[in-house]
Amino acid sequence: MVLRAPTMSRTGNKGFTLIEVMAASAILAFGVVFVYEALFRTLDAFNYYENYLKNSNWMDEKIWQAQDELSNSGVYTGEGSGEYLNNNRQVRWELACGPQGDQPGLFSIDLRLAFPRGNKNIYLSRSAYALSIARE
């Protein structure tokens, strides 16, 4: 018999050496780590998207109110910051508006939302302009 299994040719012992097994498990571990990393990033992106969806409509409405008030009276009388509950999560918001440049009657509005997620904060922000109009 000339045919022999290739592993037998080196030492005559069957099986893998310790080095071979260690190298193989190290490569496998690296692969698993990268796959998990990809999965966690995907989940993070999904989470951000979900939170964005749940809060974006509220932001649109807030911006609309500020725009409406600024364009009709030229002053924003609403609150500048506050908190509300969305999905049992406390969301803090800040709204800043002021004149934009030298143009009279042009205002800029900045709305910023922050809420904790895990051990870090997620921020969402939105900006808009408002032009005051006179009604006869």
Partner 1 sequence: MRYLSPGNNGKGGFTLIELLITASIVAFISLAIYSTLDNGVKIWRRASASIPEEDYALFFDKFGRELRNTLKFSPVSFFGSRERLEFPSLVRFGEAGVDAPGKIIYDYDPQKGALQKWRLDISDSYSGREGAPEEALRGVRALNFRYYYYDKESKELLWSDDWPGKDPPLAVRLELEFTGDGQDSVIAKTVSIPVAG
- Chain residues binding partner 1 by CB under 8 A are 39, 43, 46, 50, 53-54, 56-57, 60-61, 64, 68, 72, 87, 135
> Which two three-digit tokens encode residue 29?
């571990």
**Least distance from C-beta 33 to partner 1, angstroms?**
14
**Least distance from C-beta 132 to partner 1, angstroms?**
13
Structural contact between residues 129 and 108, judged by C-beta atoms closer than 8 angstroms: yes
Distance separating alpha carbons of residues 127 and 113, to the nearest angstrom: 12
Q: Which is nearer to partner 1, 5 or 53 (CB)?
A: 53
Contacts of 82 (CB under 8 A, 6+ apart): 92, 93
Contacts of 46 (CB under 8 A, 6+ apart): none
**Least distance from C-beta 83 to partner 1, angstroms?**
17
**Least distance from C-beta 10 to partner 1, angstroms?**
27
Distance separating alpha carbons of residues 83 and 102, to the nearest angstrom: 33
Distance separating alpha carbons of residues 128 and 67, to the nearest angstrom: 8
Q: Which is nearer to partner 1, 17 or 60 (CB)?
A: 60
Q: Which is nearer to partner 1, 4 or 135 (CB)?
A: 135
Q: Which is nearer to partner 1, 72 or 125 (CB)?
A: 72
